[in-house]
């Protein structure tokens, strides 16, 4: 029983490490400068509320600047 739980834990750890490595490799950071990345993050459900708030705030300002 103890061995089973350990293997499960180690497997999860491996997944976590892999995920972190992938993030580092891609070096994707959701920023104000790159709204495309924000959309990409939103699709993957791994999304920061700050970014979402900024994105919502950003669109009207862009519209106003274009019209003026």
- At 3 the pLDDT is 55
- From the list 68, 66, 40, the residue with the least C-alpha distance to 55 is 40
Taking phi over 0 as left and psi of -120 to 50 as alpha, with beta for the rest, 45 belongs to: left
pTM of the predicted structure, to 2 decimals: 0.18
pLDDT tens-digit series, residues 1-35:
555 565 655 666 666 656 666 555 555 555 555 55
- Backbone torsion region of residue 47, taken as left when φ is above 0, otherwise alpha when ψ lies between -120 and 50, otherwise beta: beta
Domain ranges of the chain: 2-67
Q: Is the pLDDT of residue 47 over 50?
A: no
């Amino acid at each position: 029983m103890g061995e089973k739980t350990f293997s499960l834990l180690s497997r999860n750890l491996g997944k976590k490490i892999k995920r972190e490595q992938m993030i580092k490799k891609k070096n994707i950071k959701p920023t104000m400068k790159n709204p495309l990345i924000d959309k990409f993050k939103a699709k993957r459900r791994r999304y920061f509320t700050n970014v979402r708030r900024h994105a919502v705030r950003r669109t009207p300002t862009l519209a106003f600047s274009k019209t003026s």
